[in-house]
């Protein structure tokens, strides 16, 4: 197979992450219409997103390991079918519990089949420009707020929330299944490139990997980073509406964040290829924390737009860098398993943001403490990232060597 096919993998991965994660995160757009139509509480609806993150975390680990063993194609194909089914079932839910189980569990399980396996597959296809390639796949997440979210808002306005969610589910089938069929394993030469971490070619021991300083720092940084931004992202539309921004304009803030995240992924990925991953990651985490604190002082649409550019580029830019770090530390042979495990930790951190944000709003009728707490957690993520060990071949061999 031509090595140029690697860019088909990138395009398919970007499309799948856009549709899958865009559909999952569209709950932020559905939140208020669902609450108004059903009388369900904001915290009850937001808890479905919390379940999304928890299930997506554990699912990402399992699906990542499955992609190492069986290849990414079958994994993303299963996810494509499951995601459409989950959205269709969620649109028919008559009780809050039914909605939480279908949207929270099934959508999370389906979404977890795409991110870790496709990021892992992309790192296996690329030796040069790996940061850029992973950023392009991850860019699908940035495109989602510019496409899926406004589309969801338009569908809700035209048809109400149940038909809107049903149509998004059907659309997911139409887009994802063909894209999943394009996914392939890399050629043998590309797959083995840089794979000299295990002694005598033996498979690295996962018990040593998960106890290593490299993985511990990776997992903790990823988790704290996502815990910092998940609540503000999910509640941003509602926060802007409370500040007097019109509903459609509030959704456009979410879209500006997505556009900025797309640019941030390309910028940060390119910089990581040039000057190294660690300094770019630490800088991005510091910018994210500062932006989160600044949300306490904005109230006008123009101010929201300006800050959305800074915030979106920061959190969007750092997200692909964790996969690059995982690939650099642990090599291609177990990248799906390792990055899936790191994603699991990040999802656990991310799970509490929407729930805590909903509780804060229901309790205090504002989001001030959400942004204060998120900024502090963001600073913690930057501090943890400073502890990343250097990329040293003998250290990697010590961590990943097979049993003697």
Q: What are phi and psi of 2, to 5 degrees?
A: -60, 140
Q: Is residue 329 a contact partner of residue 217, using CB atoms and an 8 Å limit? A: no
pLDDT at 85 over 80: yes
pLDDT at 96 over 70: yes
The helix (run of H) or strand (run of E) holding residue 47 is helix 42-70
Q: Into which CATH architecture does domain 3-400 fall?
A: Up-down Bundle (1.20)
Please report, rounded to a whole number, the percentage of residues in the chain having pLDDT higher than 70.
90
The per-residue pLDDT of the chain, averaged, comes to 83
Determine the pLDDT at residue 194.
40
pLDDT at 255 over 60: yes
pLDDT at 238 over 80: yes
Determine the pLDDT at residue 398.
42
Mean pLDDT on 244-251: 82
pLDDT at 222 over 60: yes
Query: Hey, which of 13-27, 248-262, 365-379 has the most confident mean pLDDT?
Result: 365-379
**44-82 pLDDT tens trace:** 887 888 788 788 878 888 888 888 788 889 999 999 999
SS (H, E, C) 235-292: HHHHHHHHCCCCHHHHHHHHHHHHHHHHHHHHHHHHHHHHHCHHHHHHHHHHHHHHHH
Mean pLDDT on 10-29: 86
> Is 240 or 25 the better-scoring residue by pLDDT?
240
pLDDT at 393 over 60: no
Determine the pLDDT at residue 86.
93
Residue 399: pLDDT band with limits 50, 70, 90: very low
> Is 145 or 56 the better-scoring residue by pLDDT?
56
pLDDT at 206 over 70: yes
Q: Is residue 258 a contact partner of residue 381, using CB atoms and an 8 Å limit? A: no
Determine the pLDDT at residue 280.
92
pLDDT at 197 over 60: no
Q: Is residue 239 a contact partner of residue 362, using CB atoms and an 8 Å limit? A: no
Mean pLDDT on 335-358: 81
Determine the pLDDT at residue 145.
66
Determine the pLDDT at residue 169.
92
pLDDT at 372 over 90: yes
> Is 336 or 379 the better-scoring residue by pLDDT?
379
Residue 204: pLDDT band with limits 50, 70, 90: low
Please report, rounded to a whole number, the percentage of residues in the chain having pLDDT higher than 90.
27
Q: Is residue 52 a contact partner of residue 87, using CB atoms and an 8 Å limit? A: no
Determine the pLDDT at residue 264.
86
pLDDT at 394 over 50: no
Give the span between the Cα atoms of 364 and 11, in whole angstroms. 44
Radius of gyration of the CA atoms of the chain, in A: 20
* DSSP per residue, 323-364: HHHHHHHH-STTHHHHHHHHHHHHHHHHHHHHHHHHHHHHHH
Determine the pLDDT at residue 259.
80
pTM over 0.85: no
pLDDT at 125 over 90: no
Vertex 51: Cα angle to 49 and 57 (nearest 5): 105
Mean pLDDT on 386-403: 58
In the structure encoding, which two tokens stand for residue 274, read together? 């040039």
Q: Is the backbone of residue 185 left (phi > 0), alpha (psi -120 to 50) or beta?
A: beta
Between the CA atoms of 222, 323, 105 and 31, what dihedral angle is there, to the nearest 10 degrees? 70
Determine the pLDDT at residue 397.
45
75: closest CA among 184, 202, 1?
184
Determine the pLDDT at residue 178.
93
**262-313 pLDDT tens trace:** 788 888 888 888 888 889 999 999 999 999 999 999 888 899 999 999 999 9
């Amino acid at each position: 197979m031509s090595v140029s096919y690697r860019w088909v993998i990138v395009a398919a991965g970007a499309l799948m992450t856009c549709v899958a994660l865009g559909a999952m995160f569209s709950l932020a757009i559905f939140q208020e219409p669902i609450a108004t139509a059903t009388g369900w509480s904001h915290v009850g609806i937001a808890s479905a997103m919390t379940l999304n993150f928890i299930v997506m975390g554990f699912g990402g680990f399992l699906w990542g390991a499955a992609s190492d063993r069986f290849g990414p194609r079958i994994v993303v194909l299963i996810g494509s079918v499951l995601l459409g089914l989950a959205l269709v079932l969620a649109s028919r839910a008559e009780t809050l519990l039914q909605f939480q189980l279908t949207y929270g569990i099934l959508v999370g399980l389906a979404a977890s089949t795409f991110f870790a396996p496709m990021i892992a597959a992309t790192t296996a296809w690329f030796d040069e420009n790996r940061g850029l390639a992973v950023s392009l796949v991850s860019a699908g997440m940035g495109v989602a707020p510019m496409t899926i979210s406004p589309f969801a808002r338009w569908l809700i306005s035209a048809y109400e929330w149940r038909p809107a969610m049903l149509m998004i589910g059907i659309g997911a089938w139409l887009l994802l299944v063909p894209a999943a069929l394009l996914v392939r394993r890399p050629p043998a030469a590309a797959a083995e490139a840089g794979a000299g971490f295990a002694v005598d070619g033996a498979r690295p021991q996962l018990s040593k990997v998960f106890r290593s300083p490299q993985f511990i720092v990776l997992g903790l940084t990823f988790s704290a980073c996502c815990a910092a931004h998940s609540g503000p992202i999910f509640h941003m539309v509602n926060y802007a509406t409370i500040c007097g921004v019109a509903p459609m304009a509030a959704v456009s803030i979410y879209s500006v964040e997505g556009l900025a995240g797309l640019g941030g992924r390309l910028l940060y990925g390119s910089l990581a290829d040039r000057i190294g991953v660690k300094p770019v990651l630490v800088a991005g985490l510091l910018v994210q924390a500062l932006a989160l604190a600044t949300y306490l002082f904005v109230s006008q649409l123009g101010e929201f737009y300006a800050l959305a550019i800074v915030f979106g580029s920061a959190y969007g830019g750092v997200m692909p860098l964790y996969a690059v770090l995982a690939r650099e530390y642990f090599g291609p042979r177990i990248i799906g398993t390792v990055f899936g495990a790191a994603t699991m930790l990040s999802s656990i951190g991310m799970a509490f943001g929407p729930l805590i944000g909903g509780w804060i709003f229901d309790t205090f009728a504002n989001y001030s403490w959400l942004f204060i707490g998120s900024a502090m957690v963001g600073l913690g993520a930057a501090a943890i990232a400073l502890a990343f060990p250097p990329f040293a071949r003998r250290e990697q061999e010590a961590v990943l060597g097979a049993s003697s």
